Chain A
Amino acid sequence: MQAAETLTGAAIPLSKPTGKTYRIEIKRQASPDAEPHWDKFDLPQRTGMNVISAMMEIAGNPVTTDGRATTPIAYDANCLEEVCGSCAMRINGKARMACSALIDKVQENGVVRVEPLSKMPVIRDLSVDRSVLFENLKRVQAWVPLDGSYDLGSGPRITPQQQEEAYPLSRCISCTICMEVCPQFNEETNFVGAATIAQAKLFNEHPTGKVLKTERLHALMGDGGIHECGFSGNCVTACPKMLPLTRAISEVSRDVMIQAAKDIFTR
């Protein structure tokens, strides 16, 4: 195996075989309603592998540990650099991005257990339906309203101070890990989840987006709204993009409270 080169000629270290093997156990199901089962695969370990490259390796030779031929694993992944938000799954019980889960680091006694997110309906194997987040973003109108029939001219000036506030919130990759790890996000509460609240905050602070602030706050007062948060803080601990989620929840919560008080006297 030869070392690859960048455009400037610098060598990129390539993945090297270590001579060791590891076992990957994957919870699979063939269809949304099929019973889940576990498939085990023994794979040669190379340096710098991640859980997604393990899936690719399985796809090349989908044979389980006990010699049974099977189908390649279905999973979502795209960028492989923790910015697209597709490959969230549970690795050794914990929700995280599979692309940044290095086999060297995550294996426990040579075993890596991979399961789909537990709170989203499974489509197949590790691929889940996360459309609830998209629905929630629509319900809080997480956008800057610009559509119209005439030229609105240039947008308002955004100060560096506003940028500093907005940028961390804009890093959200919609991976839904904050919702997966939240004890309040479940089918009993139908809680909206931290990601949507953070986006409501982002657009409430935007000079053009804030025109919908009242409507966003009213939406978040509905059943499953911001008040269902139990402040366990799991979201902010688990977030791969380190969004200030608890801060956003606290501040939007305050705005919702003030809006509710205003409504009592002015509606």
Chain B
Amino acid sequence: MATTVSTPVSAPPTGARKGTRHKGVQPLRAGQGHSFLLRRLHSLTGIVPIGAFLIEHIVSNFEALKGPAAYAAQVKFLNALPFVRVLEWAFIFLPLIYHAGYGMYIWLRGKSNVIYYPWAGNWLYTAQRWTGGIALAYIIQHVWRQRFSGVNLPDHPGAAFHKVQMELLHPWMFAIYAIAMIATCYHFAYGVWLFCAKWGITSGERARRGFGWVCGVAGLLLCTIGLASMWAFVSPKYRNAPADLTPAQITEGTQAPAPIGQAHTR
């Protein structure tokens, strides 16, 4: 039997015994630091409130399929919630900034090795980082262009459909939105799976595989709803939506969605 082979080893293996810093990966810093709290907070914020908001946002946008008036009514409803600006910052922007910032930090510290180990879980791990990055880049431009520049939608809910339509009519922009929709839904669906795995909810191999399918189907459904709403803005049915709707038109519209495009050209 071979033991450690022959030629004498010149230097002692580590500096650890001499009290110097050990080379390579350092041992666990048992009980030190706050990374546990920060990492778990990152995991939690991905589900609530950010994930919950993502579902709300995609489902709300589905109203676009009913036309500009119904879409405006939904925007008006959301902006009429009590403490809406507080809700917006506390449950959307601040958690999003934290999740994105810490997420980038996690991405930069991981060393993807999918080239050497092209296994399913490893691909999902790598894709989670890339889709997070895509989602972040998209969200920055999306929030800037749709929320903080141009027509202020909280004050003019009637202008919502037109504003989004102008954006999506650019083929490049439509492609960016479609890619971001797919990336974000993937990131969320896999994020839910990861959450359940990491918090010990699906600890068994079979449970994790089964829940993987559940998350996959749910993510696909969410993505389909999102892409369908995008289609509503560029479909021939609602071409040339009016730049703004009066409160009366919004109220009337929810009752009986009229082809607003004609009203505009009248």
Contacts and interface: CB of A to CB of B under 8 A. Distances in A.
Contacts of B197: 231, 246, 250
A257 B200 contact: yes
Contact of A32 (B23, B33, B119): B23
Interface in A120-150: 120-121, 123-124, 127, 129, 131-132, 135-136, 139-140
B82 to A, nearest CB: 30
Contacts of A56: 2
28 contacts: A55-B5, A72-B5, A72-B6, A74-B7, A75-B5, A77-B5, A121-B22, A132-B26, A135-B22, A136-B27, A139-B28, A140-B30, A179-B25, A183-B112, A183-B113, A183-B125, A188-B110, A190-B26, A220-B30, A223-B28, A224-B28, A230-B128, A231-B125, A232-B125, A233-B122, A234-B122, A251-B203, A257-B40
Contact of B119 (A73, A237, A257): A237
Interface of B: 1-7, 9-11, 13-14, 16, 22-33, 35-37, 39-40, 106, 108-113, 116-117, 119-122, 124-126, 128, 194, 197-205, 208
A59 B205 contact: no
Main secondary structure of the interface of B (DSSP, over half): loop
Contacts of B106: 230
A183 B200 CA distance: 21
Contacts of B27: 132, 135-136, 139, 190, 192, 224
Contacts, number: 215
B24 A121 contact: yes
A185 B108 CA distance: 13
A231 B109 CA distance: 15
Interface in A209-225: 218-225
A188 B109 contact: yes
Contact of B202 (A72, A225, A250): A250
Contacts of B24: 119-121, 129, 132, 187
Interface string A64-104: 00000001111111111000000000000110000000000
